[in-house]
Amino acid sequence: MRVLGIDPGLTRCGMGVVDGSVGRPLTLVDVNVLRTSSDLPVAQRLVTIEQGVEAWIEEYRPDAVAVERVFARSDVSTVMGTAQASGIAMVVAARRGLPIALHTPSEVKAAVSGSGRATKQQVGAMVTRILRLDAPPKPADAADALALAITHIWRGGAQARLDQAVARQTRAVPTRAVPTRATTTRTIPRRTP
């Protein structure tokens, strides 16, 4: 399975592609960061991110895309930019018909390090170990994108199998018609003075 992990951001959008499957060593395909200048209008920055994500999907042909789920922070402008970049990444992947998974930061930290409260340095160190790299990817957005891809390979396949089993079970169980309560209309006599 080949997964494109995306750590969304308006200024820096981490992109990482990992090959592998559960129980087998994972392999780094590529990692980088899409950057946009804060001097540009937001719409132009989003177009730049869209073009970058398109180029990565075209070049690496992932089987799935894993995007970090946006969560609230104290700085609303940061959340807005992250959410906008996340939306662009999901639209580009959906347009290609690729499965999209959203993973929370704590889920990713727990998957790669064993602790949902791991620091960025700990995540970077574990990504380095898991992918057998010489040094942690820089900046942290790049390591986070790889951690997303790793998480999806390790957890996404299992979740997809669970979803398929539930869907099969739902189709196999016949549905029972539930009688609806008949409603009656009651006429209220009008009072005359």
Q: pLDDT digits over 96-115, tens only?
A: 999 999 999 999 999 999 99
Active site residue 68: yes
pLDDT band at 76 (very low <50, low <70, confident <90, very high): confident
From the list 30, 50, 63, 68, the catalytic residue is 68
Residue 175's pLDDT is what?
53
Active site residue 141: yes
pLDDT band at 189 (very low <50, low <70, confident <90, very high): low
Q: Which domains does the chain have, with CATH numbers?
A: 2-172 (3.30.420.10)
From the list 30, 63, 141, 163, the catalytic residue is 141
- Is the per-residue pLDDT at 177 higher than 60? no
CA 105 to CA 96: how far, in whole Å?
25
Residue 157's pLDDT is what?
62
pTM, two decimal places: 0.81
Residue 159's pLDDT is what?
63
CB atoms within 10 A of CB 51: 13
Question: How many contiguous H segments (helices) and E segments (strands) does the chain have?
Answer: 6, 5
SS3 category, 28: strand
pLDDT in tens, 29-75: 999 999 999 999 999 999 999 999 999 999 999 999 999 998 766 67
Q: What share of the chain is helix, strand, coil (3-state, %, to 5)?
A: 50, 15, 35
Cα-Cα-Cα-Cα dihedral sign, residues 115, 156, 124, 119: negative
Name the CA dihedral angle for 132, 117, 20, 53, rounded to a multiple of 10 degrees: -100
CA 61 to CA 53: how far, in whole Å?
11
The annotation status of 141 as a binding-site residue, yes or no, is yes
